[in-house]
Structure 1
Amino acid sequence: MDLLKILRSFEEFLFEAVSWLVFYPLTLWRIVRGPLAAMDYSDREQGDSEEHRYDDALSPPLFLLATIVLANLISLALHVPPPPETSTVTRTLLASQQNLVLFRSLAFSLIPLVAAVTLLRHQKKRISRETLRAPFYAQCYLAAVCAASVSAGGAIFQRPDLPNVVGAAIMIGGAGWFLFVQAHWFARRLNVSTAKGAGIAVWAMVRAMIYLFAILTPIALI
């Protein structure tokens, strides 16, 4: 009986892992083709039953995690040199790819978290796990594309044989796309002008960067 349960668990794991080969590019195409529509899709899926939720796509947090893992694998394949080990914590993070992926996932998760909290505060809603989940999940779709552009641009910057201007263009283009979509998302959800939505989006991004540096600074000194 235990062996049968193990085999069934392995069967589910194998199917889920292989299905990512289909649903990852489909989810990516859905976000690139219509980011706001993809975020609306995420909101709708929150009302579905747990077993049928995100049945035809990767869930936003999983998509963000998969993007960071993929970007990390590409950096390894390109032999991108690691940053200098300036502290004990840095050495710990770079000691294994699992530590690095986990840290990057938590770092990029700050962006959707701050954006979701910003939305709830402007809507004057109570911040709880229930109210925070839907906007956070929707924001993870955008954060994944932002993470991909930052990782790709950073990889080019760290390769001395590649032009830095290409890396800068990728990073600036990804950040510009992210803020453009964010501006329209805030404007539509808060029923304000696009200009005001852009201001809210920029301020949310600035706060996310401040929080990230506030976390990284003491870590770098340890």
Structure 2
Amino acid sequence: MDFLKILRSFEEFVFEATSWLIFYPLTMWRILRRPLATMDYSDREQSDTDEKHYDDALSPPLVLLATIVLWNLIGIEAHVADLEATSTAMKTLAASQQNLILFRSLIFSLIPLIAAASLVHRQGKRLSRETLRAPFYAQCYLAAPCVMVVSIGGIILRRADIANPLGLAVMAMGATWFLAVQTLWFRNKLSTSYLRAALITLWATARALAVLLLVLLLLAIL
């Protein structure tokens, strides 16, 4: 009986893993083509049963994680060296790719988390896991293309054979797209003006970047 359970578990694992080959690019295409509609789709999926959650797409955290892993592998294949570790904490992170992927996953989750918390606060709701989950999941969809663009720009910047301004231009285009979509998302969710939504977006992003810089600073001195 235990052996049959192992076989069934392996069967589910193989199916789930191979289905990513279809649903990951499909989900990314949907995000890039219709980001707000895909974020609304994520909101609707929160009310489905566990068996039907994101049945025709990858769940937002999985899309974000898969994007980080994919572009980490691409960076390795492109022979892009990681930044030199200057502290014990940084050396620990750089000791393995698993550590780096986990760290980058946490770092790239900061913007979705703070944006989601900002929405919950401005909607006048009590901040809890339940109220935070839906906006955080939606924000993970938006963060995935951001990770892709930042990774592409970072690879270009660290390649000596490619002009650095190109990497900066790629990052700037990605940031512009992200901030524009984020502004529209806040406008729709809060029923507010474009200007106020833009200010909320900039403030949430600035706080996320401040936390990111603080984390990096702490790692650099530990």
Q: Could you say whether these structures have the same fold, taking a TM-score greater than 0.5 normalized by the shorter chain as the test?
A: yes
Secondary structure, aligned partner of 1:172 = helix
* Contact 1:81/1:159 (8 A) holds in 2: no
What amino acid is aligned across from residue 69 of structure 2 in structure 1? Answer: V
Q: How far apart are 1:207 and its partner, in Å?
A: 0.3
Gaps of 5+ in 1: none
What amino acid is aligned across from residue 18 of structure 1 in structure 2? Answer: T
> How many aligned positions are there?
222
Aligned to 1:95: 95
CA–CA distance in structure 2, aligned partners of residues 159 and 132 of structure 1 = 39
User: What's the CA shift string for 1:22-61, capped at 9, x where partnerless?
Assistant: 0001000100110000000000000000110000000000
Q: How far apart are 1:112 and its partner, in Å?
A: 0.3
User: What's the CA shift string for 1:71-120, capped at 9, x where partnerless?
Assistant: 10100110001111111111111111110000000000000000000001
Q: How far apart are 1:212 and its partner, in Å?
A: 1.0
CA–CA distance in structure 2, aligned partners of residues 127 and 57 of structure 1 = 28
Gaps of 5+ in 2: none
What amino acid is aligned across from residue 39 of structure 2 in structure 1? Answer: M
CA–CA distance in structure 1, aligned partners of residues 169 and 7 of structure 2 = 48
Q: How far apart are 1:2 and its partner, in Å?
A: 1.1
Q: How far apart are 1:135 and its partner, in Å?
A: 0.2
User: TM-score normalized by structure 1?
Assistant: 0.99
Aligned to 1:26: 26
User: TM-score normalized by structure 2?
Assistant: 0.99
Q: How does 1:135-214 map to 2 (within 5 A)?
A: 135-214=135-214
* Contact 1:24/1:63 (8 A) holds in 2: yes
What amino acid is aligned across from residue 180 of structure 1 in structure 2? Answer: A
Aligned to 2:114: 114
CA–CA distance in structure 1, aligned partners of residues 211 and 94 of structure 2 = 22
Aligned to 1:72: 72
User: What's the CA shift string for 1:163-214, capped at 9, x where partnerless?
Assistant: 1111111111111100000000001110111111111101100000001111
CA–CA distance in structure 2, aligned partners of residues 10 and 170 of structure 1 = 41
Tell me the C-alpha RMSD between the 2 structures.
0.7
Runs in 1 of length 4+ with deviation above 6 angstroms?
Answer: none
CA–CA distance in structure 1, aligned partners of residues 109 and 209 of structure 2 = 11
Q: How far apart are 1:221 and its partner, in Å?
A: 0.5
